[in-house]
Amino acid sequence: MLVLFAVFGTLPAWIGAIGLYPYLGVEVMVWIIFGLGFNLLLGYAGLPSFGHGAYFGVGAYAFGLAQFHLYPNLWICLAAATLAGGIAGALVALFISHRRGIYYALLTIAFGQIFWFVAVKWHSVTRGEDGLLNIKRLSVELGFASFSLASLQALYWFAFAVFVVTVIFLWRLVNSPFGRVLAAIKQNETRARFVGYNVWLYKWLAFTLSALIAGLAGGLFALAQQSAYPNVMSLQQSGFVVMMTLVGGGLVSFWGPVLGAVLFFVARDLLGAYTEAWLLWYGLLFMALVLFKPEGLAGMFSQIGRRNVRRTAPA
């Protein structure tokens, strides 16, 4: 965790030197938050959601709508984004928490598509395919002081602060008794029920929490992009977070989505500079990993680590 914070804490100082730009750092952090929240569901509770972009999108729209119609305060807008994602997730979870496996996955896709469709068609609220434009980067009001987020620098540090708090929160969550029970339900739902756990409620909570975090990430995204549009709710975008999590190794490590998100955006920018078809190469990489190394990058690293330990250990 310290390594992660150190990397992102010093990123503005060195990212220019390797040919990239600080805004990329903001984007990566937003997607890491999204990915870690998503992995609470996929990696810890073992519940595949293929429509998670919906809650990210709901958060982005809620951020913009709160700013236009409610009150233009950054905290209120971010809270609205988080809550809206959470409420949308809580409602959907009511209908799917008795399912698991493929049925669960299909239902999440169906619900995700509903949100996407609403975003495209409900023109008077969402502005249809154009989305909400001109979302302002509101200042950070702290009561005694106020910081403008107009500069990229300031935006970066604000995103970093939210990022640190969220990562610590999620780390604590997965290591709490709640997180351990979730992992137990993933391993054996039947047994969890027979030792006295309310499996349905745990699954409902996992989905809701995960959607809450997605909403927060969506709110940050709207803040950074200064807009919210239906594309982020599409099936394709929902697929990205699944890919990042799996490529990074979310099934075996808390940090999987971090590696996955970093790799995704670096691939986009570095490969994207050479070829329009960078996503094809990323997709092939994804397929290769799923075929040969389903534990992902994190799994590979831990395996290499173990091998080294064995080699250095006295026989």
Partner 1 sequence: MFAAQHLHKRFGHQVVLEDVSMTFEQGRLSGIMGPNGAGKTTCFNLLTGRYRPDRGRVLFEGRDITGLPPRAIARLGISRSFQVMNLFDDYSALDNVLIATPEMREKGYSFFGRFDGTTDVLQRVGLAGKEHVRAKDLSYGDRRALEIGVALAARPRLLFLDEPTAGLGTDATARIARLIAELKRAITIVLIEHDMKFLFGLADHIYVMHWGQVIAQGSPAELRANPWVQRSNLGNVVD
Tell me how far, at minimum, the Cβ of 58 lies from partner 1, in Å.
24
Nearer to partner 1, 206 or 211 (CB): 206
Nearer to partner 1, 251 or 262 (CB): 251
Nearer to partner 1, 98 or 123 (CB): 98
Nearer to partner 1, 187 or 226 (CB): 187
Tell me how far, at minimum, the Cβ of 90 lies from partner 1, in Å.
16
User: Nearest to residue 252, comparing CAs of 296, 293, 314?
Assistant: 296
The residues, any chain, with a CB within 8 Å of residue 151's CB and separated by 6 or more, are: none
Q: What is the DSSP string of 270-288?
A: HHHHH-TTHHHHHHHHHHH
**Structure tokens belonging to residue 88:** 């949308």
- Residue 131 burial (CB count, 10 A): 22
DSSP letter, residue 135: -
**Structure tokens belonging to residue 139:** 């200042």
DSSP letter, residue 45: S
Nearer to partner 1, 124 or 190 (CB): 190
Tell me how far, at minimum, the Cβ of 195 lies from partner 1, in Å.
4
Distance from the Cα of residue 144 to its chain's centroid = 32
Nearer to partner 1, 60 or 192 (CB): 192
Tell me how far, at minimum, the Cβ of 229 lies from partner 1, in Å.
35
- For binding to partner 1 (CB under 8 A), which residues are involved? 172-173, 175-178, 180-181, 183-184, 187-188, 190-199, 202, 205
Tell me how far, at minimum, the Cβ of 105 lies from partner 1, in Å.
21
Length of the chain: 315
**Structure tokens belonging to residue 90:** 């809580």
Phi, psi of 293 (to 5 degrees): -145, 70
Nearer to partner 1, 190 or 312 (CB): 190
Tell me how far, at minimum, the Cβ of 309 lies from partner 1, in Å.
17
Burial grade of 183 (CB within 10 A; 0-12, 13-18, 19 or more): middle
Tell me how far, at minimum, the Cβ of 189 lies from partner 1, in Å.
10
The residues, any chain, with a CB within 8 Å of residue 184's CB and separated by 6 or more, are: 191, 192, 197
Euclidean distance between CA atoms 98 and 180, whole angstroms: 20
